[in-house]
Amino acid sequence: MKIAVAILAGLLFGLGLSISGMTQPAVVLGFLDVAGQWNSRLLFVMAGAVLTTAIGYRLVWQRGRPSFGGAFLMPAPQRVDGRLLLGAALFGIGWGLAGYCPGPALASLGAGLWPVGLLVLMMVVGWWLAAKLPVRRDEKAARLNP
């Protein structure tokens, strides 16, 4: 049942990305072009997502525990450091150049376009490389003892 719900949620997410135009790089790049011909369409998509998330979190937290798990697992707060800022900058640069962020890129794989496949391959390589980077001792201790 848990896998079926995850698949259904993923399909719904992909459908929402497709309907909103987030799988079309021209729409996304038009939204990011605030100094040129700005396309405000995605602002409404993001506002809808924030509203849905806010309502959803309130409803979920009232339940006390997840439907398909023992307890809610929330990440421990971590400090902002150079590694986080570098990752955020690389993410933004990649999003601006390609017009895709990870969710829409994965949803767009079904289109069979080789640039999207190359983008997803490079994302996977980037994730693999990031996992191989050495972690400072204080970060390692924070991960082991949240």
Tokens of 133: 């980077």
Can you give the pTM of this predicted structure? 0.61
Q: What is the pLDDT of residue 30?
A: 85
Q: What is the pLDDT of residue 140?
A: 52
User: CA-CA distance, 37 to 30, in Å (whole number)?
Assistant: 7
User: Is 25 a residue whose pLDDT tops 80?
Assistant: yes
Q: What is the pLDDT of residue 136?
A: 65
Residues 109-145 have pLDDT tens digits of 888 888 888 888 988 888 888 888 776 655 554 555 4
Residues constituting the chain: 146
User: Is 8 a residue whose pLDDT tops 90?
Assistant: yes
Mean pLDDT across the chain, nearest whole number?
82
61 in helix, strand or coil? helix
Domain-by-domain residue ranges, the chain? 1-74, 76-146
pLDDT confidence band for 51 (50 / 70 / 90): very high
One DSSP character per residue, 10-44 reads HHHHHHHHHHHTTT-HHHHHHHH-TTSS--THHHH
